[in-house]
């Protein structure tokens, strides 16, 4: 018995010595490439490594000393792992300096982009109206039913509220239209916001993205861009609207451009019209592009319905106004003969580059 204990304690002393020795060795380790480092890992930490061997011998330590040994062994293992990791960092940093790798350099040659055709045309339209004294107004793309429909005189059962046209985010059954949240289907929502908060005269344009629940094809997309115009003052007439739109058409498509207004319907304007411009390809003679009519449609417009003025807190006995809405993709298509709407959102740089020198 006695003998056995002596043997054990000798064995333990040896183990302790080996742990201390290894600690000292590890503190001194050096490696300056990954092969040397891997050799060290194998020597100490692999299945047949020295530290792993100590763990195997741990079995023979008496129970009452297992705790202390266990701790020391774990410390040793942690020390070795940390050392190997820090050696790795060290020689990596050295390698970077030695090879003069500039880690701030971009991975690929950076291509310079171009302005998107929609941005270019949007800017052109904004510039034209700015010259006429219109200022920019903005509003959210995620809007409530109140601003998109109700205060613009849309009847409760108007088809545009239908799921086919509008993306609903939240449908509130309580009938409180400010809690029905949609992706705006037109920028006219900004109109209602501005009218509710601003005393006339109001003369604004609101450029922005709009969303409609449509299948994506060459001719329709689930999102596109509009620019809405609104002018409210005393004595604003249809003649004012027509004059502004004629100026706009000539600035955009050239001085020989003619316009015509066809009666139409929008819930928020009365009377309402759609505007055509003389075909930019044949000058009005009639060609394949204008389907031999000589005209192409470019926007919707009209006199703001007195109901809308009242719903937005403007006295319709004192003020009148006009509004118009232009589709930016539509204008871009006409100016540049883009046949497929999807080109605008695919961002193929070969397509986008074609517009580089047009402005």
Which residues, other chains included, contact 282 with Cβ-Cβ below 8 Å and sequence gap of 6+? Answer: 289, 290, 294
300 binds ligand PHE (CB under 6 A): yes
325 binds ligand PHE (CB under 6 A): yes
Candidates 29-37, 46-54, 246-254, 295-303 — which segment interacts with ligand PHE by CB under 6 A? Answer: 295-303
Instruction: List the x/- string, 86-125, binding to ligand PHE by CB under 6 A.
Output: ----------------------------------------
Candidates 111-119, 128-136, 161-169, 322-330 — which segment interacts with ligand PHE by CB under 6 A? Answer: 322-330
- Among 302, 312, 332, 334, the residue binding ligand PHE under the rule CB under 6 A is 302
Q: For ligand PHE, how many residues bind (rule: CB under 6 A)?
A: 11
User: For residues 10 and 17, what is the distance between their CA atoms, to the nearest angstrom?
Assistant: 11
- Residue 186 phi/psi, 5-degree rounding, is -160, 160
Quote the longest CA-to-CA distance of the chain.
121
**Nearer residue to ligand PHE within complex by CB, 236 or 323:** 323
Supply 46's token pair.
């692999």
Give the sign of the dihedral formed by CA 88, CA 89, CA 93, CA 94: negative
Helix axes 328-336 and 117-131, enclosed angle (nearest 10): 110
143 binds ligand PHE (CB under 6 A): no
| Minimum distance from residue 325 beta carbon to ligand PHE (Å) | 3
- Residue 42 phi/psi, 5-degree rounding, is -65, -45
User: For residues 127 and 283, what is the distance between their CA atoms, to the nearest angstrom?
Assistant: 24
Selection from 341, 309, 336, 335 nearest residue 322 by Cα: 309
321 binds ligand PHE (CB under 6 A): no
Compute the residue count for the chain.
Answer: 359
245 binds ligand PHE (CB under 6 A): no
188 binds ligand PHE (CB under 6 A): yes
Candidates 95-103, 296-304, 307-315, 347-355 — which segment interacts with ligand PHE by CB under 6 A? Answer: 296-304
**Nearer residue to ligand PHE within complex by CB, 117 or 300:** 300
**Nearer residue to ligand PHE within complex by CB, 69 or 231:** 231
- Among 146, 195, 259, 323, the residue binding ligand PHE under the rule CB under 6 A is 323
Helix axes 34-45 and 63-98, enclosed angle (nearest 10): 180
In sequence order, what are the beta bridge partners of 231? Answer: 203, 322
3-class SS letters over 147-203: HHCHHHCCCCCCHHHCCCCCCEEECCCCCCHHHCEEECCCCHHHHHHHHHHCCCCEE
| Minimum distance from residue 216 beta carbon to ligand PHE (Å) | 18
269 binds ligand PHE (CB under 6 A): yes
139 binds ligand PHE (CB under 6 A): no
Which position's Cβ is nearest ligand PHE? Answer: 325
| Minimum distance from residue 105 beta carbon to ligand PHE (Å) | 48
In sequence order, what are the beta bridge partners of 205? Answer: 136, 229
State which of positions 215-234 bind ligand PHE (CB under 6 A). 228
| Minimum distance from residue 93 beta carbon to ligand PHE (Å) | 60
**Residues of this chain that bind ligand PHE (CB under 6 A):** 186, 188, 228, 266, 269, 300-302, 323-325
């Amino acid at each position: 018995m006695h003998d056995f204990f002596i043997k054990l304690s000798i064995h333990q002393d040896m183990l302790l010595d080996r742990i201390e020795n290894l600690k000292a060795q590890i503190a001194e380790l050096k490696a300056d490439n990954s092969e040397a480092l891997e050799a060290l890992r194998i020597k100490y930490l692999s299945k047949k490594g020295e530290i792993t061997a100590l763990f195997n011998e741990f079995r023979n330590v008496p129970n009452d000393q297992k705790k202390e040994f266990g701790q020391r062994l774990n410390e040793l293992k942690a020390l070795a792992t940390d050392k190997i990791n820090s050696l790795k960092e060290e020689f990596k940093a050295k390698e970077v300096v030695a090879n003069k790798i500039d880690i701030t350099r971009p991975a690929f040659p950076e291509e310079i982009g171009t302005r998107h055709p929609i941005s270019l045309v949007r800017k052109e339209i904004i510039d034209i109206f700015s010259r006429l004294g219109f200022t920019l107004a903005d509003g959210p793309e995620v809007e409530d039913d109140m601003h998109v429909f109700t205060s613009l005189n849309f009847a409760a059962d108007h088809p545009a509220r239908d799921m086919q046209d509008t993306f609903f985010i939240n449908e509130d059954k309580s009938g409180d239209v400010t809690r029905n949240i949609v992706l705006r289907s037109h920028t006219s929502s900004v109109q209602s916001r501005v009218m509710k908060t601003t005393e006339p005269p109001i003369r604004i344009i609101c450029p922005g993205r709009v969303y409609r629940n449509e299948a994506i094809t060459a001719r329709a997309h689930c999102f596109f861009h509009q620019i809405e115009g609104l002018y409210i003052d005393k004595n604003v007439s249809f003649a004012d609207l027509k004059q502004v739109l004629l100026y706009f058409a000539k600035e955009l498509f050239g001085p020989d451009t003619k316009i015509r207004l066809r009666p139409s319907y929008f819930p928020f304007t009365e009377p309402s019209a759609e505007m055509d411009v003389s075909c930019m390809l044949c000058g009005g003679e009639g060609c394949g592009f204008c389907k031999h009519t000589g005209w192409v449609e470019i926007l919707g417009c009209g006199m703001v319905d007195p109901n809308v003025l009242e719903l937005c807190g403007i006295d319709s006995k004192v003020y009148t106004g006009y509004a118009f809405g232009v589709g930016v993709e539509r204008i871009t298509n006409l100016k540049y003969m883009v046949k497929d709407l999807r080109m605008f959102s695919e961002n193929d740089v070969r397509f986008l580059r074609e517009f580089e020198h047009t402005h």
